[in-house]
Structure 1
Amino acid sequence: MKKHNFSSGPAILPLPVFEQAAEAVRDFNGMGLSILEISHRSPEFTAVMEEANVLIRDLLNVPDDYAILFLQGGASSQFFMTAMNLLDQDAKAGYIDTGSWSTKAIKEAQAFGTVETLASSKPDNFTYIPKGFAIPEDLAYVHITTNNTIYGTQFKTLPETSVPMVGDMSSDIFSQPVDVSRFDLIYAGAQKNMGPAGATLVIVRKEALGKVKRHIPTMLDYRTHVKKDSAFNTPPVFPIYVSMLTLRWIKANGGIPAMQQKNAAKAELIYREIDRNPMFKGTVTDPADRSTMNATFVLAEGKEHLNDEFMQLCKAANCSGVKGHRSVGGFRASMYNAMEIESVQALVQVMQSFERKFG
């Protein structure tokens, strides 16, 4: 019986990608060698890197004056690398605090310059996206986390500003169109819509680099990786290869517009059931801020004691990964690009069955 994987990450990837990756582990491109053992400087892997780069530029319409990098350390390393490379000690950056990851990014950036929290939804447990906040024009950059996996909120429109933007797009990149030119830097951990854990995508405007006065360690200087095409040291070969396969799959299946349409249909289905079913309650206070990627919900008031019973029904229906983040509890349905709508329908049926049994 099929497993319906609602995990927030590492997350579901397309079946054809798993099949091709598994074959490459045994024999990559008929070389008689595994993708796990070939040189990262071999022509065969260089071709993988080049194709991944071309696919990203094509899918996201990345302008020519931006570099595309594959780094390690996850988005958590980007919390400090962005500030280290873009924020001088005597300069100021603005951050929009919309959840745990942006809070951590703020903490790391404070080591490199002045950080101002321009807006925060923390007083209301990050249940909405702040709006109407002012962005000073003297900032080095303004940082946003476009989608918040833990709290189920998402920026539906970008802040209007003439200040350079930095975007953590770990959980919604490649799920919808994005105007890359609005950003000086975009970063994303691969393990949601792009590939397995281990690779981190960075898209950076080259002119934004080299302006801070501090010494930057070689490995933490974006210019090092721009100059060496992400191969200054051994890159995460297998995660990059699987990411390339996933990007191929996205393009072959209609590109970003098709992903956006598919994701909207899945989100509409799950949120309609959350709103209809008296056993559940959505956690995002403004429906306009609901994430397309991560639907968060809890049991209705007075039904909290039935938490285990709902999880048992999910397990029986092979719906995996529905438990909410440990910091907030409740439930979470993560619906990344590779998830088919049939899996969301399976979860909706579980919610309806729960209503019939306990309502």
Structure 2
Amino acid sequence: MYTFSPGPSAVHAQLPQYFQEAFDTGILSMNHRSPEFIAMNKELQEVIRCKLEIPADYVVMFSSSATECWENIAQSIQPQRSLHFYNGAFGEKWASYHEQICGEERTLKAPYEVEEMPDFEAYKSEKPDLVCLTHNETSNATQLPENSLHLVRRHYPEALIALDATSSMAGLRLPFNQADIWYASVQKCFGLPAGMSVIILSPKAQERALATANSHYNALGSMIKQAEKFQTTHTPNVSNIYLLLRTLQDSEHIAVTDDRLHAQWLQWKNFLSENGYELLVKNELIQSKTVLAIKGQPEEIREIKAKAKAAGILLGNGYGAWKDSSFRIANFPAIPLTGIQALQQFLSK
């Protein structure tokens, strides 16, 4: 079965080998306070910074999911005024989680249409101290334009900038130094089983988290203090930490991966156009490079997905407002070329 669902998505083909290594060496039963775990985490820190180009003064930590990150940012940063730009279901959910924790009066929502650009300048007078954006909105296959973070920083120079990069991190080359908080679940571009997320904080975000008094589970301040010792606040997902280390060790540098996915994205667009398929999003400036959404009539979409599954190909369902009128194709690093060829052969019929 070839999997093109945009999450949980295809995992790296080498995972059976890595799992066997973890079993044979006792890593699956490793004590997370042991010298062996500390050494593994330290090695992972070096590898992930090198392969993804993460600045040396940013801290890299692990939690259970992007959903936990939504809550943790609100609880640990405790902004006086947060500003949330979104055009799809995941950005909206993040804003709603934040509103539940911090209250309506401290949460400013800034929705915009799918084919439009966010108007970053429009909310300057609100003076938010936290600006939240979804770098890659998986629900509708849109992505922030390249100069977005530069504009956000220019209009909100004092605010912390937070990015949900779940469908971007480990697939696209990200400008980490242009924002303060980045996070992503590993079941997409990282090509791992679900159950862990990576969260990355700038020095400015670290300072804010450490200065904020809170005692909730996995508070960012507590996580930072443990990360300084290459440890965690809780018993972590040791197996996924090991799998992350091994896959990154055997992966290309992010610059190479970014180029490959961009070329595949262009090839996918040409193929879909030549074969009569219509993308959900027309505006090329905001089309996602890692997720393609194809629209159609609900009965047509159901038929395509059912026939694809019978042919051994799992397509992604539509999501949110586009659940019944679209299907999605992941363009993630772990998806093999043979799978892409099989899907294109199927769709061409």
Structure 1 segment 184-199 matched on structure 2, within 5 A = 184-194=180-190, 195-199=192-196
- 1:136: which partner in 2? 124
C-alpha change, 1:267 and 1:106, in structure 2 (3 Å) is same
Equivalent residues of 2:84, 2:133 under 8 A apart: yes
Unaligned 5+ residue runs, structure 1? 122-126, 354-359
Instruction: State the SS of the aligned residue for 1:220.
Output: coil
Structure 1 segment 123-202 matched on structure 2, within 5 A = 127-128=114-115, 130-134=117-121, 135-136=123-124, 138-157=127-146, 158-159=148-149, 160=151, 161=153, 162=157, 163-194=159-190, 195-202=192-199
1:47 to 22, 34, 39: 39
Q: Are 1:115 and 2:107 counterparts?
A: yes
Equivalent residues of 1:118, 1:133 under 8 A apart: no
Q: Distance in 2 between matches of 1:67 and 1:310?
A: 44
Q: Identity percentage over the alignment?
A: 22
Counterpart amino acid of residue 105 in structure 1: W
Equivalent residues of 1:317, 1:346 under 8 A apart: no
- 1:281: which partner in 2? 278
Instruction: State the SS of the aligned residue for 2:294.
Output: strand
Equivalent residues of 2:265, 2:289 under 8 A apart: yes
TM-score, L = length of structure 1 = 0.84
Equivalent residues of 2:6, 2:138 under 8 A apart: yes
Equivalent residues of 1:196, 1:243 under 8 A apart: no
- 2:204: which partner in 1? 207
Q: Distance in 2 between matches of 1:314 and 1:333?
A: 12
Write the deviation string for residues 97-151 of structure 1: whole angstroms up to 9, x where unpaired.
Answer: 1211111111122232612223422xxxxx3352343152722121111111121
Structure 1 segment 29-48 matched on structure 2, within 5 A = 33=26, 35-48=27-40
Unaligned 5+ residue runs, structure 2? none
- 2:317: which partner in 1? 323
Structure 1 segment 346-357 matched on structure 2, within 5 A = 346-353=342-349
- 2:69: which partner in 1? 78
Alpha-carbon offset, residue 173 of structure 1? 0.3
Q: Distance in 1 between matches of 2:128 and 2:303?
A: 50
C-alpha change, 1:201 and 1:315, in structure 2 (3 Å) is same
> Number of residue pairs matched?
330
Moved more, 195-204 or 210-219: 210-219
CA RMSD of the aligned region, Å? 2.3
Q: Are 1:87 and 2:84 counterparts?
A: no
Q: Distance in 2 between matches of 1:20 and 1:43?
A: 24
Q: Distance in 1 between matches of 2:257 and 2:163?
A: 20
Greater helix proportion: 2
Q: Distance in 2 between matches of 1:305 and 1:80?
A: 38
Counterpart amino acid of residue 130 in structure 1: M
Q: Distance in 2 between matches of 1:312 and 1:117?
A: 38
Equivalent residues of 2:5, 2:314 under 8 A apart: yes
- Could you list the structure 1 runs, at least 4 aligned residues long, displaced by more than 6 angstroms after superposition: none
Equivalent residues of 1:87, 1:93 under 8 A apart: no
Q: Are 1:314 and 2:308 counterparts?
A: yes
